[in-house]
Chains A and B, each alone.
Chain A
Amino acid sequence: MSAKSEAPAEKKRRRMSYEKKKSLYGYGFIGLWLVGTVLFFLIPLGKSLWYSFCDVSVDPGSLKTKFAGFKNYFSVIGEDPYYTEYLGDTLIEALWKTPLILIFSLFIAVLLNQKFRGRTLARAVFFLPVIIATGPVFKIISGDMNSTGNSGAQQFSTMFSTDLVGELMQFLGIYGISDRMSDMISAVADNIFGIVWSSGIQILLFLAALQNIPSSAREAAQLEGATAWEYFWKITFPYVSPFILANLIFTIIDSFTNPMNSVMNRIVSMKNQWEFGAASAMAWIYFGIVLAVITVIAWAIGRFIYYEND
């Protein structure tokens, strides 16, 4: 308010001070978060980076750190019996699961966007994983699925088992595909549970994107006599493409930071053995890889996205 009471003749100074004031207000708005983030995010983050370069020992009452250079990193990569193996497994799993989740969720979103009876119910069911899949219940559920001691789960998984797919392929007269291909197909069939359960949010986002397609585009396509296939590739896909990037990044982050994946388990178990230095080094290597992957993907995909406003 003080800006108003100043002399109106000094127009330039007043403008400057208004700008400054606005920027001060900006700091005011984010101030609370800034304090919190320094205390609860940046300092711990820095500390964990520091631990990863140190020999950490636990004294009663405090942690003792002694600088050790890259020792932790070398020992984690070179000597730890599980870490590199788990790392490879997790990366490969994310590599083939992510595109599958994206394709699947886009497909389901297109289906759920159509008008039919019971659509609300179907949507409710498909979003159900959103509220369950982050919790401990899901850990137990997916444990059920994997453990063989559970008759229900076993029967369930045989429904989608390798044999069935193989039989189907033979029935269709497809013999000549390579082992790798049939491995992939059977992996998809076996993992349908995991894929369905981890694509709740993605379906939600794609559905939101689909409903943002202007009806004029749809009408134009209909007038021109576009088939459903053409409509999908020429209209739906370009409109949805920004969301593919968002969903892709979300899926990658989700699968990498999932507390159930084996690298995370290894890090946590190292922590429980009080090997803080090694655990921090593991976490930082992992985090570095994830960051690199996301940067590369965002850069590569960002070039192919169609933005309506541009």
Chain B
Amino acid sequence: MITDRQVERSIAILLRGGVLLAASIVLFGGILYLTQRGSDLPHHHTFRGEPVDLMKPSLVIRGALSGRPDAIIQLGLLLLILTPVARVLFSVAAFAFERDHMYVIMTLLVLAVLLYSLMAA
């Protein structure tokens, strides 16, 4: 039988692991980014949005695998965004295990909102 405390501990490990991994990837991509583009001029004064290959998760992964620094950073950020989603997914399983049907439904509702937002990407 798992207890609430054990569930909370697992969530804590999940969250910390996700953030550490994401931050490491962002740092790695950031160093590459600066070595390649460090002497360019920053362009953040005017909003132009991002090219489509930095907005679509599937294209971000492809770009990162081909070694593009901006895509590697974006992959780390994507992973970071997915960490809370994984936390919610984990909670669905934990509430199901405790046979708390009401909270399974509520957690699924939160998950649905998160997935809706990510589908937009």
The judgment on whether A and B are partners is: no
Q: A residues bordering B, Cβ < 8 Å?
A: none
